[in-house]
Structure 1
Amino acid sequence: MKQSLRKVLISGGRGLIGMRLSEMLIDAGYEVAHLSRQTSRGHYCSFRWDPATGQIDEGAIAYPDYVVNLAGSSVSEGKWTEERKRDIMASRVGGTNLLARELREKPHHVKAFISASAIGIYGDANGRLLDETTPPAPADDFLADVATQWEQAAHQVAELGIRTVVTRIGIVLSHEGGALPQIARPIKLLAGAALGSGKQYMSWVHIDDLCRLIIQMMEETEWQGTYNAVAPNPVTNQEFTTILADVLHRPLVLPKVPEFGLKLMMGEMSEIVLASQRVSAQKVLQQGFQFEYPLLKPALEALYSDQE
């Protein structure tokens, strides 16, 4: 690859995925810049933007050869008040709309636009196997509505003739943040238990596999359209909890946490842990991607081996 094709702009670059992706891109010889609402700090060049007001630094979209759009307020921090839900939606859809506007109106040399979405688009589907042709859940499912509108915003970029890849991300496994430390905490305190029935499926992906997948989507022109970013072996919540307890060398001593208790504690946000999503990885496998961590136990062991 020519050296001139080595600049990547990441929205949400300071988030969990963005920080790990930035490290892996630097290691692979890329230049990386972040789009951020704060002024620059740390190792990375950054451009300022504010999706809420539609403002963005003049030179931002002229910088990259590739744009990776990860920006979005966390869905798992704090109860879903109406204000919080507006922020979750606006941070994703507003940011993607702003990038689409800049790509439409400003000179640039962007070769590909990789935009995050989430498997929440499928809603609660029990044990049904879900692939990229499965229609989104109805709009009364908040997470499905967010992901649907997020993807529609990204399609504006595809309409400009820019190669666009939408990646529906599953539960990202990292001990640095996200869902895993929250699931592991009660297990470490000997208070771990399956959630709800325990039969709901969890479709997960190790953070390094996700970042490798995003880089492959960037680099290889065959990638276009929508892909599930999940490991090929989803597990039930009961299986996940049991395997994680085994990796952490802790017993599971409590019965399941009942669904009504979770709804009482978490409100509408409980659908994050109660929805069953058994998501297929077949399309990314057929495209030639190879997972380093296709199975849950080795993925968790790799994450916790340095914390023994």
Structure 2
Amino acid sequence: MKILITGATGLIGQELTNQLLQENHIVHYLTTTPFKSHRRQNYFGFNWNPKTGKIDENCIQGVDVIVHLAGASIAEKWTPYYKNELHDSRIQSADLLFQLLSKTPNQVKHFISASGTAIYPDSDSALYDEEAIASDDSFLGDLVQKWEASADQFKSLHIKVTKMRTGIVFSNKKGALREMIKPIKMFVGTGFGSGKQLQSWIHIKDIARMYSFVIQNQVEGVVNAVAPIPVSNQELTSIIAKRLHRPLFLPNLPRSFMKMVLGEMHILLFNNKNVVPKKVVNLGFKFDYPTAEIALSHLIK
């Protein structure tokens, strides 16, 4: 199968590319920067620039599936300018792909877009599977709704659409886990608020395997791309400290303080969401890292 990936150099994109190449797929990727000739078999790069509307039309030649991972990181200060960047990097890029497929003969059958669990409202009691219809009214919740709407437009081209609502991705290369590790390693680690808030997460290898599973099984609609067992903020902090052989002696940081430090972005640390991957589990997907304890024992040596 020939698969086009946007955001192929990102955290998930790199792992997914390796997964697909190991499965003998052909991978096309889009990049905004000049690239060197590919050095790996079945791996081809093409230029695009969503901000200017430019894209190499050859990128979709023979492509069966598009995996859309492009988007600016949410782990930056949410200034008004950066909020626009978070929006445009996701929506403009999807719109450009839609325009290309609309006017260019192609054989694309499946469009798979990254999405986020931020679409679900903060709740102490709700259990969110893929049939949940409640949506969060925060900036990030609104962003995810628009992100998914940009993916849904591909249905008008008679293309299957999947939206991968992803939690915190655990990786020892980059991303949220490395930032969690830093203060604990320096003996200043602590939890946030009550520490009871549940955080949905997934191991980097499981998310790559899940994308491949969705491709192979032509899974449509919403997919909760999270591990089956969420972890509380306090438990996660304790597991990391245990793996690093570091004590936790500081009091938890209150929400008011983190709001002062991070502004609106502080909600990432305090939202309480119990999200479950019902759809892929029912279809037979098996997690290699189903619990935070197992995942972190693999990632933190």
TM-score category of the 2 structures, normalised to the smaller one: over 0.9
The yes-or-no answer on 1:300 pairing with 2:296 is yes
Q: Which residue is 1:72 aligned to?
A: 71
Q: Which moved more, 1:142-151 or 1:33-42?
A: 33-42
Q: Which residue is 1:10 aligned to?
A: 5
Structure 1 distance, partners of 2:174, 2:142, is 24
The yes-or-no answer on 1:33 pairing with 2:28 is yes
Shift of 1:134: 2.1
**Pairing of 1:262-281 with structure 2 (within 5 A):** 262-281=258-277
Structure 1 counterpart of 2:81, from 80, 83, 91: 83
Structure 2 counterpart of 1:20, from 15, 18, 25: 15
Q: Which moved more, 1:54-63 or 1:9-18?
A: 54-63
In structure 2, list runs of 5 or more residues that go unmatched.
none
Q: Which residue is 1:282 aligned to?
A: 278
Q: Kindly provide the amino acid, as one letter, of the partner of residue 10 in structure 1.
A: I
Q: Which residue is 1:47 aligned to?
A: 46
Structure 2 counterpart of 1:204, from 181, 201, 206: 201
Shift of 1:270: 0.8
Structure 2 counterpart of 1:159, from 156, 159, 168: 156
| Secondary structure of 1:117's aligned partner | strand
Q: Which residue is 2:184 aligned to?
A: 187
Shift of 1:63: 4.3
How high is the TM-score relative to the length of structure 2? 0.95
Q: Kindly provide the amino acid, as one letter, of the partner of residue 102 in structure 2.
A: R
Structure 2 distance, partners of 1:19, 1:214, is 12
Shift of 1:138: 4.3
Structure 1 distance, partners of 2:85, 2:188, is 32
Cα deviations by residue, 1:134-188 (Å, 9 ceiling, x for unpaired): 234344x011111100101111112211122111011100011111001111111
The yes-or-no answer on 1:230 pairing with 2:226 is yes
Shift of 1:75: 0.4
Structure 2 counterpart of 1:112, from 107, 110, 113: 110
Q: Which residue is 2:246 aligned to?
A: 250
What is the root-mean-square deviation of aligned Cα atoms in Å? 1.4
Structure 1 counterpart of 2:101, from 90, 100, 103: 103
How high is the TM-score relative to the length of structure 1? 0.93
Structure 2 distance, partners of 1:277, 1:124, is 6
Cα deviations by residue, 1:2-42 (Å, 9 ceiling, x for unpaired): xxxx2211101111100111111111111212111111146
8 Å CA contact 2:64, 2:109 repeated in 1:
yes
Structure 2 distance, partners of 1:304, 1:29, is 30
Q: Which moved more, 1:53-62 or 1:163-172?
A: 53-62
Q: Which moved more, 1:86-95 or 1:127-136?
A: 127-136
Q: Which residue is 2:215 aligned to?
A: 218
Spell out structure 1 runs of 4+ moving beyond 3 A: 41-44
For these two proteins, the number of residue pairs brought into alignment is 297
Structure 2 distance, partners of 1:63, 1:274, is 45
Cα deviations by residue, 1:258-300 (Å, 9 ceiling, x for unpaired): 1111111111111111111110122220011111111111101
Structure 2 distance, partners of 1:286, 1:45, is 35
% identical equivalent positions:
41
| Secondary structure of 1:102's aligned partner | helix
8 Å CA contact 2:191, 2:237 repeated in 1:
yes
Cα deviations by residue, 1:55-90 (Å, 9 ceiling, x for unpaired): 21121222422111000000002x110000000011
